[in-house]
Amino acid sequence: MLRKVDQPADPPLRLPAGRRWASAVWRRKWSLLAGGLVVLAAGLGLARLMLGPQVAAVVAERANLVQSVVASGHIETPYRVEIGSQITGTVADVLVHEGEVVREGQQLIAIEASELRAAVVQAEGAVAQAEARVRQLRELTKPAADQSLQQARANLLNAEAAYARASKLAASGYGTKATLDEATKNLDVARTLVRTAELQVYTSSPVGSDYVMAETQLGQARATLNTTRARLGYASIVAPRDGVLITRKVERGSVVQPGKALLVLAPAGDSQIVVQIDEKNLGQLALGQQALASADAYPDRRFKATLSYINPSVDINRASVEIKLKVEEPPDYLRQDMTVSVDIATARRDNAVVIAARAVNDATTAPYVLKAEHGRAVRQPVRLGLRGVGAYEILDGLAPGDRVIPLATGVKPGDRVRVVVP
């Protein structure tokens, strides 16, 4: 009887020692990685504790610094012209619109003027009548008076001669008293007629009363005609000068009267920027200072302006002062009341020690900086000079090349730091 004999099992396979170590490491990779990270974090924490955090510092350096005052304002013309009616009437037509460019003398508004035209015709008739009266005195009355005077003087000569003859005859006894009385009466009448003719000549002459009255009436008639023509001219409202209409408050059919503004004109020419400045900056401002301005709608296009006016009073409600800057060459894109930003250069210092403004603490009271020295942040008081946009002039406390830690880093005086310069 056959029996199955069991074969002995193969001996276990033994790996080399190096491979066995690598296999063990691979099986424990996550544990080892976690442990390594812990050790690394502990090392970094120890380094941070011993050496301090790494912070970016700014460096004091020499540079040219311009102190300026920055503010916002708006564009205005030096003045605006309010256009209204000088008469009461009904608007027949409005010939312009807001924003339209107009020229001097251009008609803007037409007022219904039929009554005014009738008044002009009536005044012209009165002038013609007065002129005819003057011509009548000059061409008819005065020559007639001259002729009458000549005739009266001739009659006077005859009357004087007749009186002389009658007197002689009466004295010699050949004449009668009745003849003398008649001659005397005729002489008196002739003398009276001469005086009357002389008076007529005088009154009809340029210095006489009739002529003066006629001239006065003619002058009054002409004045009335000028007045009525002027009122007729008021029915056509025209632009007093070149400019842009920025406001319109009238429509066809409106009843207008003197004293009410119908249109507002911004005259062409110089423009100015009106700005409200915080009163704390008043001491830095002076007339004639130069500025750069830019419209908010065109921030990349800058233009020059000059400080031309500082209001002598302070707005107590806003604690501000109104200033005006003259724009000598306004760019074509400027519009009335457009918002602009201005940068007024109030002082300049060349080759000054300058530090970024973000590195200065308590700039308005007791300014100081955190200066990096020997791996620590050291509180260093400083004396400030000019204050530019984003930078301060250091008069005392820092030298060129000193490294300063900005306040935003959170570092406090005495902390260890590792400084890097961007």
Tens digits of pLDDT across the chain (422 residues): 334 444 444 555 454 555 555 565 566 666 656 666 655 655 544 445 455 688 888 999 999 988 888 899 999 888 888 999 999 999 999 999 988 889 999 999 999 999 999 999 999 999 999 999 888 888 888 888 888 888 888 888 988 888 888 888 878 877 778 888 888 888 888 889 889 888 888 888 887 788 888 889 999 999 999 999 999 999 999 999 888 888 899 999 999 999 899 999 988 877 899 999 999 888 889 999 999 999 999 989 999 999 999 999 998 888 899 999 999 888 888 888 899 999 998 888 899 999 999 889 888 888 999 998 888 889 999 999 988 878 999 999 999 999 999 888 888 888 888 878 77
Which secondary-structure segment (H or E) carries 262?
strand 261-267
In the chain, what are the helix, strand and coil shares in percent, each to the nearest 5?
40, 35, 30
Helices 114-136 and 209-234 meet at what angle, rounded to 10? 160
Q: What is the pLDDT of residue 4?
A: 45
- The helix/strand/coil state of 335 is coil
102 contacts 265 by C-beta, under 8 angstroms: yes
Place of tokens 């001739």: 154
Tokens of 347: 């002082």
What is the structure's pLDDT at 128? 94
Residue 163, Ramachandran bin (φ over 0: left; ψ between -120 and 50: alpha; else beta): alpha
Model's pTM, two decimal places?
0.54
Please give the pLDDT value at position 74.
93
Distance between alpha carbon 407 and the CA centroid of its chain, in Å?
A: 43
pLDDT of residue 1: 37
Calpha distance 384→396 (Å, rounded): 7
pLDDT at 78: 82
For the record, the structure tokens of 106 come out as: 């251009």
Distances from the Cα of 113 to the Cαs of 237, 370, 420, in angstroms?
A: 12, 82, 84
Query: What pLDDT does 20 receive?
Result: 55
Q: In this structure, what token pair is assigned to residue 140?
A: 């008819």
